Structure 1
Amino acid sequence: MTFSEILDRVGSMGPFQYLHVTLLALPILGIANHNLLQIFTATTPVHHCRPPPNASLGPWVLPLGPNGKPEKCLRFVHLPNASLPNDTQRATEPCLDGWIYNSTRDTIVTEWDLVCSSNKLKEMAQSVFMAGILVGGPVFGELSDRFGRKPILTWSYIMLAASGSGAAFSPSLPVYMIFRFLCGCSISGISLSTVILNVEWVPTSMRAISSTAIGWVPESIRWLVLSGKFSKALKTLQRVATFNGKKEEGKKLTVEDLKFNLQKDITSAKIKYGLSDLFRVSILRRVTFCLSLAWFSTGFAYYSLAMGVEEFGVNIYILQIIFGGVDIPAKFITILSISYLGRRITQGFLLLLAGGAILALIFVSSEMELLRTALAVFGKGCLSGSFSCLFLYTSELYPTVLRQTGMGVSNVWARVGSMIAPLVKITGELQPFIPNVIFGSTALLGGSAAFFLLETLNRPLPETIEDIQDWHQQTKKTKQEPEAEKASQTIPLKSGA
């Protein structure tokens, strides 16, 4: 008897699961907002140099830049005066007395003057947050296996509340970055515990719509059994059986039943497969390399657009609604595509289209705001669909014995991409088109790599490494047979005597 069969005895699709899903879904609603929080907390309003203390002696005039607009980071050394030589009158200097902002709303930019030479710190703050998400994954994953899913989930929510409040009242930028890093770690812990509790408690048909929960939700039965806590596991199962109206079935279960029937699962769980196994077999090396590139390019390009709302000259609140709304049709179209066209074609073309849209932004002038916005929304929708496809595709490509390891490696590359994306935007100071060239080219590269993966449509999940090796060999034979048949039909010409 397996875990799934025991859950069937106590009710795998009863009131408990529906309540579980409801409690899982509600707390997660606000988590995603943290990833894009800096769009609103770090907007850069129109600004110019604050006049020097003696500016009241005469009218204050700002120097003009090459575009004919007032300079944001320079001011005249002297007030314009006809009695001064032209070269002296035109001398400029940095904003030594701070800046004046054309906004009544405080952001971290206006709070700590993250403009001009300090504008790189704004992008660095977002990268620090993403670094927290990267670090939080392996740290909380290890803690979850050692102490249980529910305690780590509860602690992650408490940590998020404390670090989020700390970031809101930070007295300086370094302190703000520390709290944002902790926020990232907390969100990673919540996401990880979400996935594990989701997979280990909820049946397959409901996993796509459940997220995370605390408080009432019990600890994972699988973790309790594999940790040797059979008595607590039995009580939890009996409570679920009672809730689902199968109290008698729950009473029939004993600790001996759990130990005997799940002995095979317990033994197999003790066999450890590590990171090296992903590179030991040639087909797994190819899968790991191509998937890592696809995950990296998706996260890299996604946050280049998602965090660049301010660049399109449209109201950031309206544009953010559009950016969020495009996910609905994008995910729906992606579901249809992966169901009928296949995972490989869908994944490849989504990244190619996103890369093309980002590169197209280079050739559209900043005055054409509507067209630029349309391209950005289209690209963001493709990348959102790419994320949806990757989660399914990755879980189907890796065998069961390495699935969690493969998913972990893939997610790390997505986090690395999202962490580097804000830093790449700094290259725009050299030439405005450089960031889009980097983002777009990377997306094209990731899309091309997807075409080297195996197609998983209508195929059973591989359980072992041998399964995926056999699958690869069958795919090679299928491709070779038409070529051999075509070659056999070729009649060689005979030379005349």
Structure 2
Amino acid sequence: MISNSFGLGIVFVYDTPKHQCFIPPSNLTQEWLQAVIPVSVVNSVEERSRCSRYRLDVVMNLSAQGSAPDDMNLTELQQEPCVDGWSYSKDIYQSTIVTEFDLVCNDQWKQPFTSTIYFIGVFVGSFIFGQVSDRFGRKPVLFTTMALQALFMFFQAFSTSWAMFAVLMLFTGAGNMANFGAAFVAALRWLSITLEMIGKFCIVGTTNFLFAYTAEVFPTVLRNTASGVCSTWARIGSCIAPFIIQLSLYFSFLPPIVMGTLAVGSAIGALFLPETVRQPLPETIQDMQHNKRIKFPCLGRQKTSSIDHVETKL
């Protein structure tokens, strides 16, 4: 649980504090220091620009001439991007990767893409290490990937550029999924997943339920591999999810509409999944054929499968 807590840390590491163009030390009056950042009205609220300022050389000349901001129409002044960088609010966080690498304005796309890179790593880890665990054992893979993940996270703290941070993020994601999958299946084999469920219950309870269910459906001979393949497909959605949040820039309700539609579709699809409650874990592929679909009284009496019918006759 400790090694996989990085998924929660992303929420804090990627936070974007309030920011505006940095104004280097100059002889500007206090009035001009307040007026050099353009103000616009967004949703009936005045907001200072985060990505532009009035041309500093023009403002400095006006200030030197004794002109006051109230004596002119500031909207007529030329604007320029934040050529001297940004200043960030430290009311909540002292620093994040956004403030360290200036992932704002023209580089704002790097924020969700960093999360996507992480989940690409999870994608790769799901696909590769599931098979590796089945072949070499879960314990060796678990402790090896935990060590590698800790090493990559350590180096991330000393990243000197966003590109370096992103590459290390890729390996961190791969290690995260590798040790999580190995630990989960190993816990299932020990017939105890209590600690895992307690640790994740309040945050990703549904995800853990799917992991448990997936492991119960597939037989022992390919449980790790099958769980890894399922996780691989799930990570495709994880890679896209950060960009879905950005849809709120066009329509505020669009992200919950998209996510809600997918959730309803998944719930309907769950009606056709096999039942695993009070059923022994399948050991072979042939054992999977004895699984029955989940029964819901509200859907009426369900038909007996052809396999059950043949077994009854025999």
Q: Shorter-chain-normalised TM-score: which range?
A: 0.7 to 0.9
The residue that corresponds to 2:216 in the other structure is 396
- 1:42 corresponds to 2:14: yes
What SS does structure 1 have at the residue aligned with 2:193?
helix
Structure 1 residues 98 and 406, CA gap change in structure 2 (3 angstroms): same
Coordinate RMSD, CA, aligned = 3.5
Q: Structure 1, residues 134-183: CA drift from partner, whole Å, max 9, x if none?
A: 21233333444454444433322321222111100100000011111111
1:198 Cα deviation (Å)? Answer: 3.5
Q: Structure 1, residues 444-489: CA drift from partner, whole Å, max 9, x if none?
A: 11112112223333344445555544555998xx6248xxxxxxxx
1:191 Cα deviation (Å)? Answer: 1.9
Q: Structure 1, residues 5-41: CA drift from partner, whole Å, max 9, x if none?
A: xxxxxxxxxxxxxxxxxxxxxxxx4223211212222
The residue that corresponds to 2:98 in the other structure is 109
1:47 Cα deviation (Å)? Answer: 1.1
In the alignment, the residues of structure 2 paired with residue 480 and residue 153 of structure 1 have an alpha-carbon distance, to the nearest angstrom, of 43
What SS does structure 1 have at the residue aligned with 2:153?
helix
The residue that corresponds to 1:187 in the other structure is 176
- 1:416 corresponds to 2:233: no
In the alignment, the residues of structure 2 paired with residue 37 and residue 438 of structure 1 have an alpha-carbon distance, to the nearest angstrom, of 25
Residue pair 1:198, 1:210 contacting (<8 A) in 2 also: no
Residue pair 2:185, 2:215 contacting (<8 A) in 1 also: no
The residue that corresponds to 1:98 in the other structure is 85
Which of 251, 257, 278 is the equivalent residue of 1:431? 251
- 1:132 corresponds to 2:121: yes
Structure 1's unaligned 5+ residue stretches are: 1-28, 212-326, 332-380, 482-497
The residue that corresponds to 2:151 in the other structure is 162
What SS does structure 2 have at the residue aligned with 1:436?
helix
The structure with the larger Rg is 1
Q: Structure 1, residues 416-447: CA drift from partner, whole Å, max 9, x if none?
A: 22222112222233233222222222111111
The residue that corresponds to 2:302 in the other structure is 479
Structure 1 residues 190 and 416, CA gap change in structure 2 (3 angstroms): same
Q: Structure 1, residues 194-236: CA drift from partner, whole Å, max 9, x if none?
A: 2354455x3x2xx21467xxxxxxxxxxxxxxxxxxxxxxxxx
Counting only pairs closer than 5 Å after superposition, residues 141-220 of structure 1 correspond to structure 2 as: 141-199=130-188, 202=190, 204=191, 207-209=192-194
**Greater mean alpha carbon deviation, residues 463-472 or residues 126-135:** 463-472
Structure 1 residues 71 and 170, CA gap change in structure 2 (3 angstroms): same
Structure 1 residues 388 and 39, CA gap change in structure 2 (3 angstroms): closer
**Greater mean alpha carbon deviation, residues 459-468 or residues 43-52:** 459-468
Which of 91, 94, 109 is the equivalent residue of 1:120? 109
Structure 1 residues 433 and 473, CA gap change in structure 2 (3 angstroms): closer
The residue that corresponds to 2:310 in the other structure is none
The residue that corresponds to 2:63 in the other structure is none
Residue pair 2:134, 2:225 contacting (<8 A) in 1 also: no
Residue pair 1:399, 1:461 contacting (<8 A) in 2 also: yes
Partner amino acid for 2:243? L
In the alignment, the residues of structure 2 paired with residue 85 and residue 396 of structure 1 have an alpha-carbon distance, to the nearest angstrom, of 69
- 1:65 corresponds to 2:32: no
Residue pair 2:103, 2:111 contacting (<8 A) in 1 also: yes
What SS does structure 2 have at the residue aligned with 1:36?
helix
In the alignment, the residues of structure 2 paired with residue 463 and residue 436 of structure 1 have an alpha-carbon distance, to the nearest angstrom, of 40
Structure number with the higher helix fraction is 1
TM-score (structure 1 length as normaliser): 0.50
Share of identical aligned residues, percent?
Answer: 31
- 1:445 corresponds to 2:268: no
Structure 1 residues 444 and 87, CA gap change in structure 2 (3 angstroms): same
In the alignment, the residues of structure 2 paired with residue 158 and residue 462 of structure 1 have an alpha-carbon distance, to the nearest angstrom, of 32
Q: Structure 1, residues 365-394: CA drift from partner, whole Å, max 9, x if none?
A: xxxxxxxxxxxxxxxx5x733223323332
Structure 1 residues 154 and 387, CA gap change in structure 2 (3 angstroms): closer
In the alignment, the residues of structure 2 paired with residue 147 and residue 470 of structure 1 have an alpha-carbon distance, to the nearest angstrom, of 30
1:45 Cα deviation (Å)? Answer: 1.3
TM-score (structure 2 length as normaliser): 0.75
Structure 1 residues 194 and 463, CA gap change in structure 2 (3 angstroms): closer
Q: Structure 1, residues 40-94: CA drift from partner, whole Å, max 9, x if none?
A: 22221111122367672671312222232222222223437577677623x4333
Residue pair 1:127, 1:419 contacting (<8 A) in 2 also: yes
The residue that corresponds to 1:221 in the other structure is none
Partner amino acid for 1:94? P
Structure 1 residues 474 and 162, CA gap change in structure 2 (3 angstroms): closer
Residue pair 1:65, 1:71 contacting (<8 A) in 2 also: yes
Residue pair 2:272, 2:294 contacting (<8 A) in 1 also: no
